[in-house]
């Protein structure tokens, strides 16, 4: 008897033309020479997971005398993924880095291998990240033909002055050109990433960004508050006094404007930083916010499966080497206990504007939420950060501004 489990797949492509000044992601420049071997290793890892995720029959994996499959040691993962469960994939997300930098044949091969190896649902959301200026009509046509049905384009700001200040190597005009090409080849689900709170950014510039992007007919927007991370180019400039962060009040004004303006444009505010037209919420990100299960493929990719969290080695050179010599790329396997599961469910679930259903919490954990956290919840309600509505607990408008003060109560 099979149970059915729906998961997401994240595929990491760590290559970039240049590193944006604010970026602290696992991405690298000047490593194009590694792309062929990296993609070969990635295909190998896709096939490796397939042996366990396509049809699991409650049996231990059959390996050769050295406990390898396709040359990679699998013992570390056997206990994670074996069981009487049929796995179905409801989303694939190719992120980076800049996946659209890869030669077309590699992306098509990666998608094709996933289609061959996994049970992909017919209505699965398949996303690729792209930066303006890195896609062509030929690439977009091939992406569509391969099965990719969603684009996530990194615009960040409409003003070319701000793009240059961030170390971006494209213009707003290139964004519009790429968007038009994507529409012409048939993409009907396109998201754009934007950043507010940039040094030197004015309120009217942020309003212009929102106005211009929504006028282009985008289905989904991710509007992120800039985080100045230590060790980044921007972080160093701030530390040395070369750049001044914007005032908190202006930052909050930008966020409040975002909520109001996008609501007036027909967008649903469904997560702290995410807005969509009806029916265009990100299926893949909803897996994360609902504490669903997912596997990560590629250098530095994280996975959460069968109460285990683990990640791949971060450096692409190490990832390629480990695959080539039959060594596991997996490290830091952690078992997540029930207390941690509950904490993560609350923290991630409260990021959603609809909040957390008391009934769904009880169904999932067989516990009453208020019995566990009544004191914490009462304090947050008195502070005006949480509210009850139709058997759900959710952030208030003030809670959206001070979300981290809410989350810390559930750690």
Read off the pLDDT of residues 11-31 as tens digits, 9 standing for 90 and up.
Answer: 999 999 999 999 999 999 999
Q: If you count DSSP H runs as helices and E runs as strands, how many of each does the chain have, helices first?
A: 16, 17
The CATH number that applies at residue 395 is 1.10.10.10
Render pLDDT for 323-369 as a digit per residue (tens, 0 to 9).
999 999 999 999 999 999 999 999 999 999 999 999 999 999 999 99
Using the structure block, give the residue that is written with the tokens 């202006």.
Answer: 250
User: Whole-structure pTM over 0.75, yes or no?
Assistant: yes
Residue 388 lies in a domain: yes
Tokens 């062509």 sit on residue: 136
Tokens of 171: 């213009």
265-272 long-range Cβ contacts below 8 angstroms, 24+ apart: 265/210, 265/214, 267/214, 267/221, 269/353, 270/352, 270/353, 270/354, 271/351, 271/352, 271/353, 272/351, 272/353, 272/395, 272/400, 272/403
Q: Which domain holds residue 266?
A: 3-289
Classify residue 297: in a domain, yes or no: no
CA contacts within 13 A on the Cβ side of 195:
23
Residues of the chain predicted below pLDDT 70: 1-2, 52-84
Residue 341: its pLDDT value, please? 98
**364 belongs to a structural domain:** yes
The residues, any chain, with a CB within 8 Å of residue 363's CB and separated by 6 or more, are: none
Per-residue pLDDT at 61: 37
Same domain, 267 and 398: no
The verdict on 284 and 359 lying in the same domain is: no
pLDDT of residue 286: 98
- For residues 237 and 142, membership in a common domain is answered with yes
Q: Is the domain of 70 the same as that of 203?
A: yes
Report how far residue 272's alpha carbon sits from residue 347's, in angstroms, rounded to the nearest whole number: 12
**Where are the alpha helices (H) located in 10-83, listed in sequence order?**
35-53, 75-81
| 264 and 383 in a common domain | no
Overall domain count for the chain: 2
Domain boundary among 273, 289, 305: 289
pLDDT at position 58: 41
């Amino acid at each position: 008897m099979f149970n059915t489990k729906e998961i997401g797949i994240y595929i990491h492509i760590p290559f970039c033309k240049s590193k944006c000044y604010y970026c602290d992601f696992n991405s690298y420049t000047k490593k194009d020479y590694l792309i062929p071997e990296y993609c070969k290793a990635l295909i190998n890892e896709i096939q490796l997971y397939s042996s366990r995720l396509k049809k699991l029959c409650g049996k231990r994996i059959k390996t050769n005398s050295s406990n390898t499959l396709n040359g990679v040691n699998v013992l570390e993962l056997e206990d994670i993924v074996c069981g009487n469960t049929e796995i179905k994939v409801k989303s694939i997300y190719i992120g980076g880095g800049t996946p659209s930098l890869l030669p077309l044949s590699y992306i098509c091969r990666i998608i094709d291998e996933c289609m061959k190896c996994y049970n992909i649902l017919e209505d699965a959301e398949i996303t690729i990240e792209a930066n303006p200026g890195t896609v062509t009509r030929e690439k977009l046509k091939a992406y569509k033909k391969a099965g990719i049905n969603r684009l996530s384009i990194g615009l960040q700001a409409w003003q070319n002055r701000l793009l240059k200040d961030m170390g971006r190597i494209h213009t707003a005009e290139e964004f519009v050109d790429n968007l038009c090409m994507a529409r012409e080849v048939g993409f009907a689900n396109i998201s754009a990433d934007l950043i507010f709170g940039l040094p030197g950014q004015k309120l009217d510039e942020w309003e212009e960004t929102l106005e211009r992007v929504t006028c282009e007919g985008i289905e989904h927007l991710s509007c992120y508050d800039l985080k100045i991370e230590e060790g980044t180019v921007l972080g160093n400039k701030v530390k040395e006094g070369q750049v001044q962060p914007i005032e908190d009040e202006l930052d909050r004004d930008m966020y409040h404007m975002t909520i109001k303006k996008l609501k007036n444009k027909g967008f649903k505010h469904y997560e702290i930083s995410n807005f969509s037209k009806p029916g265009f919420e990100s299926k893949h990100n909803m897996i994360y916010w609902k504490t669903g299960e997912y596997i990560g493929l590629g250098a530095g990719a994280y996975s959460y499966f069968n109460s285990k969290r683990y990640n791949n080695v971060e450096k692409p050179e190490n990832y390629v080497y480990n695959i080539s010599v039959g060594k596991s790329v997996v490290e830091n396997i952690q078992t997540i206990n029930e207390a941690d599961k509950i904490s993560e469910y609350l923290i991630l679930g409260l990021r959603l504007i609809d909040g957390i259903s008391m009934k769904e919490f009880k169904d999932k954990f067989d516990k009453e939420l208020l019995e566990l956290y009544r004191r914490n919840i009462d304090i947050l309600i008195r502070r005006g950060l949480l509210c009850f509505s139709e058997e759900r607990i959710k952030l208030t408008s003030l809670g959206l501004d001070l979300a981290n003060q809410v989350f810390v109560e559930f750690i």
